[in-house]
Amino acid sequence: MNFEEYITIPIIVVGVLVVLGLAFWARYKTVSPDEAMLVTGSFLGNKNASVDESGRKVKIIRGGGAFILPIFQKAEYLSLLSHKLDVSTPEVYTEQGVPVMADGVAIIKIGGAVEDVATAAEQFLGKPTEALKGEAQEVLEGHLRAILGSMTVEEVYRNRDKFAQEVQGVAAKDLKKMGLQIVSFTIKDLRDKHGYLDALGKPRIAAVKRDAEIAEAEAVRDARIQKALASEAGQKAELLRDTNIAEAEKDKEMKVASFKRDQDTAKAEADQAYSIQEARAKQSVVEEQMQVELVRKEREIDLEAKEILRREKQYDAEVKKKADADRYAVEQAAEANKAKQLREADAMQYRIEAEAKAQAAQKRLDGLAVAEAERAKGTAEAEVIRLRGLAEAEAKEKLADAFAKFGEAAVLDIIVKMLPELAGKVAEPISSIDKLTVVDTGNGEGAARLSNYVTSLMSTAPEMLKSVSGIDVNQLIQGLTSKAIAPAAPKAALSVQAPAAASKPAAPPTPIKPVDPIE
């Protein structure tokens, strides 16, 4: 057999034992002291078993435990706790025919014997506790009424314990048949509605009151007598006490004075002897201290000499070791510093070369970019100047053609047609104002000043036209006026030419655009 087979067999055995143990633990039932376990089924045995007349067997277990066989046996529990019952009766006529009512308290429980438990289980197992209490209460009340009817009121009133014992003795037999027993039964109250019980108590109450008053008077008398005797004895005792105290204080003072005198004498002698002895003792102590101090000084001198030698040797050794260590540390630091400086120099050289190359490349790229930008800017500016010159020349050429083609009258006509548009452009900033408030100064010049402002702007139009296009409108008007005043022949010629020039609607006059001067 190999090692695995040796291990497998014990494991199986342990597993079987664990399973059996768990099964036993699961099926083993225990019972607490306040309950009973009833086991029914097969294989019950004869211990703690109860068999009825029909041969049915029940096993009853109290304060222990039992193993319940699965399938074959079943366990149920029955509580053995006590129960309190309030027992009362309606009006019951006693032997004398007097109606009375009685109230009592009973404590019952299931009996502890096997037969009692079996009987109670047969009748009450599965029922609620109230059912058990209700049946027991009815039995007790019935017997309470029966016993009360067989006794006189005086018997019940004077001997309640006997009445309760008779009720308990009679009811216990019937409760025994139910598996119950009476733990205790007490009569709480006995009353009637006609005052019979009160009448029975009145003579006794009167006699008790009389005896109480007599006893109270006698007690007061005896108390006063005893108080007077006690006061007299107390005063005598106080006087005797004061006399004895005075004599005792006198003896005390005499003894204290004598004791103090002897004490002062002894103290003076003792102080003198103490002073002499103290001086001698101080002298001896000083001599001993001087000897001890001398020996201590000598010992300290020897120790200091030895300590000086030890420190000299230790100093020589430590200085030499420290010098060697410092020299080695300096050499190592110098080597390390040298290697560090070499590495830093190499790194610095590499970084400088890289930075120089990067700066050179950057400067070259910056120069190329600046040159390219300057070249493009120059080309653009030259092109703008060329186009501006061409536009200006073309404008002047068209202006010259217009003058040659249409004459001064046509040019003046074009300029006059342009004046309304120019006036609109001049007044356009005023039209963009959302709200304008005109304040009249009282002379009616408020609104006129606004129109005069536009008129004054229009009066500068000829000068502005002259400065922009070079056309002098005033000179043209004066020239046309001088020609109108000339002889008739020229006037007829002018009148003939004017319709001819005006009879060409197919060629409208080209508006003259102002040309910016070349910078």
Choice among 3-12, 81-90, 302-311 with the minimum mean pLDDT: 3-12
DSSP 66: E
Tokens 């299931």: give the residue: 110
pLDDT at residue 118, as a whole number: 83
Choice among 101-110, 250-259, 367-376 with the minimum mean pLDDT: 367-376
Greater pLDDT, 239 or 380: 239
pLDDT at residue 517, as a whole number: 35
Q: Render pLDDT for 373-395 as a digit per residue (tens, 0 to 9).
A: 777 788 888 888 888 888 878 87
- Give the residues across from 35 on adjacent strands: 79
pLDDT for 125 beyond 70: yes
Greater pLDDT, 246 or 57: 246
Amino acid of residue 75: A
Calculate the CA 445 to chain-centre distance. 83
Would you call 77 helix, strand, or coil by DSSP? strand
Question: Using an 8 Å Cβ cutoff, are 81 and 34 in contact?
Answer: yes
Question: Rounded CA gap, 439 and 445, in Å?
Answer: 9
pLDDT at residue 346, as a whole number: 80
Question: Using an 8 Å Cβ cutoff, are 462 and 418 in contact?
Answer: no
Amino acid of residue 351: R
- Residue 308: which pLDDT band, with cuts at 50, 70 and 90? confident
Greater pLDDT, 217 or 431: 217
Name the region of 470 (left: φ>0; alpha: ψ -120 to 50; beta: rest).
left
Amino acid of residue 143: H
Would you call 102 helix, strand, or coil by DSSP? strand
Residue environment code for 104-128, b if the CB has 16+ CB neighbours within 10 A, otherwise e: bebebbbbeebebbbbbbebbeeee
Amino acid of residue 434: D
- Give the residues across from 101 on adjacent strands: 191
Mean pLDDT across the chain, nearest whole number? Answer: 76
Q: 10 Å Cβ neighbour count for 102?
A: 24
Question: Using an 8 Å Cβ cutoff, are 78 and 110 in contact?
Answer: yes
Residues of the chain with pLDDT > 90, as a percent, come to 0
Choice among 278-282, 315-319, 366-370 with the minimum mean pLDDT: 315-319
Would you call 84 helix, strand, or coil by DSSP? strand
Q: Render pLDDT for 345-359 as a digit per residue (tens, 0 to 9).
A: 888 888 887 888 888
Q: Render pLDDT for 457-516 as a digit per residue (tens, 0 to 9).
A: 667 777 776 766 667 777 777 776 776 555 444 433 333 333 333 333 334 444 434 334
Neighbouring residues of 389: CB distance < 8 A, sequence distance ≥ 6: 518
Overall residue count recorded for the chain in this entry: 519
Question: What is the homologous superfamily of the domain 81-194 according to CATH?
Answer: Band 7 domain (3.30.479.30)
Greater pLDDT, 201 or 84: 84
Give φ, ψ of 518 to 5 degrees: -75, 130
Residues of the chain with pLDDT > 70, as a percent, come to 76
Task: Tokens for 41, please give them.
Answer: 């089924």
Name the burial class of residue 153, with classes exposed (0-12), middle (13-18) and buried (19+) by CB atoms within 10 angstroms of its CB: buried
- Residue 284: which pLDDT band, with cuts at 50, 70 and 90? confident
Question: Using an 8 Å Cβ cutoff, are 157 and 105 in contact?
Answer: no
Provide DSSP, 478-519.
HHHHHHHTS-HHHHHHHHHHHHHHHT-TTSPPPPPPP-PPP-
Provide DSSP, 305-349.
HHHHHHHHHHHHHHHHHHHHHHHHHHHHHHHHHHHHHHHHHHHHH
Question: Using an 8 Å Cβ cutoff, are 143 and 104 in contact?
Answer: no
Neighbouring residues of 93: CB distance < 8 A, sequence distance ≥ 6: 99, 149
Question: Using an 8 Å Cβ cutoff, are 36 and 78 in contact?
Answer: yes
What's the pTM? 0.35
- Give the residues across from 185 on adjacent strands: 106
**Triad 303, 304, 307: Cα angle to 5°:** 85
Tokens 């006690």: give the residue: 230
Question: Rounded CA gap, 416 and 511, in Å?
Answer: 11
Choice among 131-135, 272-276, 327-331, 503-507 with the minimum mean pLDDT: 503-507
pLDDT at residue 33, as a whole number: 80
Q: Indicate the helix (H) or strand (E) that contains 365.
A: helix 196-431
Q: Render pLDDT for 35-63 as a digit per residue (tens, 0 to 9).
A: 888 887 777 767 767 776 666 777 877 77
Q: 10 Å Cβ neighbour count for 76?
A: 13
Would you call 69 helix, strand, or coil by DSSP? coil
pLDDT for 414 beyond 60: yes
Task: Tokens for 48, please give them.
Answer: 């703690």
DSSP 88: E
pLDDT at residue 173, as a whole number: 86
pLDDT at residue 513, as a whole number: 40
pLDDT at residue 128, as a whole number: 87
pLDDT at residue 489, as a whole number: 40
pLDDT for 154 beyond 70: yes
pLDDT at residue 405, as a whole number: 61
Task: Tokens for 519, please give them.
Answer: 């910078």
pLDDT at residue 490, as a whole number: 40
**Mean pLDDT, residues 232-241 taken together:** 88
Neighbouring residues of 462: CB distance < 8 A, sequence distance ≥ 6: 472, 473, 474
pLDDT at residue 190, as a whole number: 83
